[in-house]
Amino acid sequence: MGPQTDDRVLGGRPFSTLHFGLDDVDGVDPRQRLVVVGNGMAGARVVEEVLERGGGEQFAITVFGEEPHGNYNRIMLSHVLAGEEHEDDIVLNSHDWYADNGVTLRAGVRIDRIDTHAKLVHAADGTTAPYDQLVIATGSRSFIPPMSGLHTHDEQLLPGVFGFRTIDDTRAMLAAAATHRRAVVVGGGLLGLEAARALQGHGLHVEVVHAGTHLMNQQLDADGGAILRRSVESLGIAVYLATRTTEVVGPDRVRGVVLADGRTIDADLLVIAAGIRPVTEVALMSGLEVERGIVVDDQLRTDDPDVYAVGECAQHRGELYGLVAPVWEQARVLADLLTGTDPTAEYHGSRTATKLKVAGVDVATMGVNRPERDTDEFLVISEPRRGVHLSVVIRDDQLIGATLLGDTRKVAFLTQAFDRGTPLPEERIRLLVDLSDGAEEVGVAELPGESQVCNCNGVSKQAICDTVAGGCSSLSGVMDATRAGKGCGSCKSLVKQIVEWAADGDVLEDPTASWYVPGIPLAKPALTEAIRTQRLRSVSAVFAELAPGGQEDAKSKMGLTSLLRMIWGSEFEQENDAKFINDRVHANIQRDGTFSVVPQMKGGVTTPAQLRKIADVADKYEVPMVKVTGGQRIDLLGVRKEDLPAMWDDLGMPSGYAYGKSMRTVKTCVGSDFCRFGLDDSTQLGIDLETRFQGIESPAKIKMAVVGCPRNCAEAYVKDVGVVAVGSGKWEVYVGGAAGATVRKGDLLATVGSAAEVIELTGRFLQYYRENANWLERTYDFVPRVGLEKVKQVLLEDSEGIVLHLDEGIQRSIDAYTDPWGQDGRTPATPGQFSTALPLVELPKVPVR
């Protein structure tokens, strides 16, 4: 090895202090003896997990470690080598930690052999230690490929040759980097590339020799590897592929290497990072079953019932794991078993996902990196010029693998989908890129902290990250705490991404996310079923029967009112307190506590008589503002609550539903009556649609439009339901469009041959949406979530045999419709329904125009 410039014990004590563990007192300790062989990340983790389960009472624990140090984070060694971290900062468990927890640490003592009959471990220093339960966690060591001239006469590595596995290796390399100029790294995997980049940072000229045909061949496919090579080479690191190093030029110290093809590379420093091999000698010497690693069963037991193995040295179901996450899982299972916390705990293997930075390039991989069956879906996006290569493998609608190189913005979502099998977007490309709907989207990682995420409530990315850092790691928790995403809701997916990013994928699964309303722990299908079978016809009855403890929840009331109204139609038992104020007074509340009044104006068509009436009413009630709306109606704004019933009376027009989570309006163009381009009578069809579906409540508002030609003057392409005349009596029906905070062109559901068919299909779609959408989920989210193909199959081919049921459902609601203005105007539903809530003593603050 290289010159040892530092022999300080990492995580050691500044001064030697005597420590008497309980087990020093012979025959007194009634506890079982747990011996752990190996003080790396796996062994120490097992001890931590055992202690966490109260195992300190059950076991006298002794840990043997070959290195003299405490337990340190081996993953961070490349950061230490790069000078980004101080070695003290990578200590996980110092010597003091062991002492403080009553654990005997025998650091610097190698175990040679286990006598499984006598239940004794034999250490290299000649001592022995008895055990009742034994854990082998010997980890792995650098694989040194055969090459001539590597060793000196006394079997030591030639001066200038280094492995890269321990803190001592790292210290030696750091010392050498200061005095050497040219380095060759053998191995183009993760560790080799990290070493190369770190050494280059110390000013060395670095070349990488890799036996594989592409870099990081464990994780990347050939195309990804090729792109990584370009990125690495652009850093000034030369790469030699598909060749081995056959000879080290010496003889006194490293002077260069010779490759298999005869080329020679000058070098005064040689790093060997050609992979790792499990350390299995102890197990072999002790007669335990060893294949590539120490063979263990699902309880991490070797073929001796009292000997377990965990971590990189263990072979479970044929797999060796070199990542930390599986090791953590194994440690938890083993601790459950040893302490009896869960005597049936089993380890079933891990789905490994990893995210790292290799030579300055972001890489994230999980699962497989290429399709394995003919039916696997495989999507690749390759941008060699930018150094970006992204791919996903999907089997049976589940993500089974993903590789992200050069751009890991989507890693949080993909990790969740991979780990938990969360549903995938129908458009698979959205797994890999954010398809922007107009504005350029920035990855959450790059978003500056001060940038505002929720514009409605003024919440910055930093505020969200701080909340997560403060221990809140569920989406709903963060939303409650910051109010982010609680305004118009259009930023909710961004908030979700930031929470996932800030929690580094460790997001608490939010059980409430699947509930229809927050106060009833049921998803929509189960909730609907329960309401039907238990015949719950009022919101208070739903709370009494279905809420935990029968407790009502203010924020669930509006959604339940809407759902019950849909389910029961005219049999619904109204309760005014369960309605949002808009639905109580059939008008839209404004910022100063006044209301807006929008009379129905079907299809945007009005008459001089109607306009006169509106003008008279506006005069009579001193309406501060009269405005034409985006929905082709007339809005009377700033109306006092107590004036509402009299105004409706004077207007004598039905409500335009400009306030509810319901069908709002149908915009039309002038169609064929007057327009010289119009292909069909869009105006009449719009009026007919509005007449049929007026006021139908739904999970979120519904806007429609009908246009007489594809010029789209009434914006039918961006409506929840948009109808476009295409000539010869044919109409296109689009669904899922939007032109609000989200802009989305609707998907073509069908082209039909008559206005009657448009109305029928619209009714089916509305009912399907009403029965299946989440509360406040607009059609522009609903249609992509369900998938256009599915919607088509259900509505057009009746694949689920429910079309008749949908037709009946929508008809029931249509039959139950009554104009609310005619209903509540004369006799209030509750005392003081229209009494003012504000202003009481102050005057309105909104300026009158």
Partner 1 sequence: MSLTATSTTAAHVVGRVEDVPLGEGRAFVAGGTPVAVFRLRDGSLHATQAACPHAGGPLADGQTDVNVLVCPLHLYTYRWTDGSSPSGVTGVRVYPVHERDGALVVEVC
- Closest distance between partner 1 and the C-beta of residue 519, in Å? 8
Q: Which of 481/605 has CB closer to partner 1?
A: 481
- Give the separation between CA 304 and CA 117, rounded to whole angstroms: 10
Q: Which two tokens stand for residue 257?
A: 């290497």
- The reply on whether position 457 binds partner 1 by CB under 8 A is yes
Measured distance CA(78)–CA(194) in Å, rounded: 6
Do residues 36 and 43 make contact, with C-beta atoms less than 8 angstroms apart? yes
Order across the sheet with 595-597: list the strands. Answer: 588-589, 595-597, 634-639, 625-628
Task: By CB under 8 A, tell whether 163 contacts partner 1.
Answer: no
Would you say 422 and 392 are in contact if contact means Cβ atoms under 8 Å apart?
no
At its nearest, how many Å lie between partner 1 and the CB of residue 585? 8
E strand or H helix that includes residue 769: helix 755-772
**Least separation in angstroms between CB 463 and partner 1:** 10
At 612 the three-state DSSP class reads: helix
Comparison of 58 and 574: residue with beta carbon closer to partner 1: 574
Q: Is 540 in the site for partner 1 (CB under 8 A)?
A: yes
Should residue 471 be labelled a site residue for partner 1 when binding is judged by CB under 8 A? Answer: no
User: Is residue 843 part of the contact set for partner 1 (CB under 8 A)?
Assistant: no
CB of 833 vs partner 1, minimal distance in Å: 8
> Between 341 and 576, whose beta carbon lies closer to partner 1?
576
Sign of CA dihedral 390, 396, 398, 400: negative
Which of 847, 773, 843, 770 is CA-nearest to residue 807? 770
For position 455 contacting partner 1 by CB under 8 A, the verdict is no
Sole window of 289-297, 577-585, 599-607, 732-740 interacting with partner 1 (rule: CB under 8 A): 577-585
Residue 322 or 593 having the CB closest to partner 1: 593
750 CB-contact burial (10 Å; exposed 0-12 / middle 13-18 / buried 19+): middle
Q: How far apart are CB 780 and partner 1 at their closest, in Å?
A: 22
| Number of shown-chain residues binding partner 1 (CB under 8 A) | 38
Question: Taking CB under 8 A as the rule, does residue 577 contact partner 1?
Answer: yes
CB of 405 or CB of 484, closer to partner 1: 484
CA distance linking residue 669 with residue 705, whole number of Å: 9
Q: Closer CB to partner 1, residue 187 or residue 489?
A: 489
> What x/- string results for residues 547 through 576 when contact with partner 1 is judged by CB under 8 A?
----xxxxx-xx----------------xx
Does position 831 interact with partner 1 (CB under 8 A)? The reply is yes
CA–CA distance, 112 with 109 (Å, rounded to integer):
10
Q: Which of 28, 840, 843, 848 binds partner 1 (CB under 8 A)?
A: 840
Nearest CB to partner 1, comparing residues 544 and 611: 544
Query: Is 823 a binder of partner 1 (CB under 8 A)?
Result: no
- Minimal distance, residue 591 CB to partner 1, in Å: 7
Nearer to partner 1, 508 or 838 (CB): 838
Residues 6+ apart with CB under 8 A from 158: 149, 150, 151, 152, 248, 250, 253, 254, 270
DSSP H/E element including 348: none
Q: How many angstroms separate the Cα of 513 from the Cα of each of 94, 209, 774?
A: 42, 50, 10
166 vs 482 by CB, closer to partner 1: 482
Between residues 510 and 575, which has the closer beta carbon with respect to partner 1? Answer: 575
CA–CA dist 597, 599 (Å, integer): 6
Told to check if 822 binds partner 1 by CB under 8 A, we report no
CA pair distance 812, 569, nearest whole angstrom: 6
Of 241, 368, 526, 581, which lies in the binding site for partner 1, with binding defined by CB under 8 A?
Answer: 581
Using CB under 8 A, which of 841, 843, 848, 849 touches partner 1? 841
Q: Which long-range contacts (CB under 8 A, 24 or more apart) does 327-332 make?
A: 327/41, 327/42, 327/45, 328/45, 330/42, 330/300, 331/42, 331/45, 331/46, 331/48, 331/49, 332/49
- Find the part of the chain contacting partner 1 (CB under 8 A) among 2-10, 23-31, 113-121, 474-482: 474-482
Q: Which of residues 500-539 bind partner 1 (CB under 8 A)?
A: 519
Among 325, 580, 626, 802, binds partner 1 (CB under 8 A): 580
Task: Decide if residue 469 touches partner 1 (CB under 8 A).
Answer: no
For partner 1, which residue of 38, 70, 593, 631 counts as binding (CB under 8 A)?
593
Q: Which residues does residue 379 pair with via DSSP β-bridges, in sequence order?
A: 392
For residue 156, state whether it binds partner 1 (rule: CB under 8 A). Answer: no
Shortest Å, Cβ 548 to partner 1: 13
Decide: 574 and 829 in contact? Cβ < 8 Å: yes
Residue from 99, 589, 625, 788 binding partner 1 (CB under 8 A): 589
How many helices (H) and strands (E) are present in the chain, helices listed first? Answer: 26, 41
Binder of partner 1 out of 483, 537, 613, 627 (CB under 8 A)? 483
Smallest separation (angstroms) from partner 1 to the CB of 829: 9
For residues 73 and 70, what is the distance between their CA atoms, to the nearest angstrom?
A: 10
Of the listed pieces 144-152, 581-589, 630-638, 808-816, which binds partner 1 according to CB under 8 A? 581-589
By CB under 8 A, which span of 214-222, 336-344, 360-368, 834-842 interacts with partner 1?
A: 834-842
Q: Quick one: 131 or 834, whose CB is closer to partner 1?
A: 834
Report the residue from 141, 486, 627, 730 that binds partner 1 according to the rule CB under 8 A. Answer: 486
Q: Which stretch binds partner 1 (CB under 8 A): 181-189, 420-428, 563-571, 826-834?
A: 826-834
Q: Rounded to 5 degrees, what angle do the CA atoms 522, 525, 530 make? A: 65
Minimum Å distance from CB 645 to partner 1?
16
**Measured distance CA(840)–CA(107) in Å, rounded:** 78
Comparing C-alpha atoms, which of 654, 713, 647, 661 is closest to residue 686? 713
Nearer to partner 1, 10 or 491 (CB): 491
- If one asks whether residue 490 binds partner 1 (CB under 8 A), the answer comes out as no
Cβ neighbours, 10 Å, residue 816: 17
Which one among 466, 592, 757, 807 touches partner 1, defined by CB under 8 A? Answer: 592
Give DSSP secondary structure letters for 504-556: TT-PPP-GGGGSSSTTS---HHHHHHHHHHTT--SHHHHHHHHSGGG---GGG
Instruction: Judge residue 402's burial from the number of C-beta atoms within 10 Å of its C-beta, 0-12 exposed, 13-18 middle, 19 or more buried.
Output: buried
Q: Would you state the structure tokens that stand for residue 402, as one six-digit string?
A: 């993903």
List 201, 371, 487, 825, residue binding partner 1 (CB under 8 A): 487
- Given the structure tokens 């300055």, which residue do they identify? 360
Q: At what angle are helices 492-502 and 411-420 packed, to 10 degrees?
A: 80
Other C-beta atoms lying within 10 Å of the C-beta of residue 449: 11
Tell me the closest approach of the beta carbon of residue 476 to partner 1, in angstroms. 12
The type of residue at 457 is: N
Indicate the residue among 163 and 593 with the shorter CB distance to partner 1.
593
Instruction: Return the number of the residue (215 or 644) whose C-beta is nearest partner 1.
Output: 644
Instruction: Give the closest residue to 651 by CA, choosing from 626, 687, 683, 682.
Output: 626
728 scored as a contact of partner 1 (CB under 8 A)? no
Verify binding: residue 827, partner 1, rule CB under 8 A.
Answer: no
Binding site for partner 1 (CB under 8 A): 456-457, 480-483, 486-487, 519, 540, 551-555, 557-558, 575-578, 580-581, 584, 589, 591-593, 830-832, 835-838, 840-841, 845
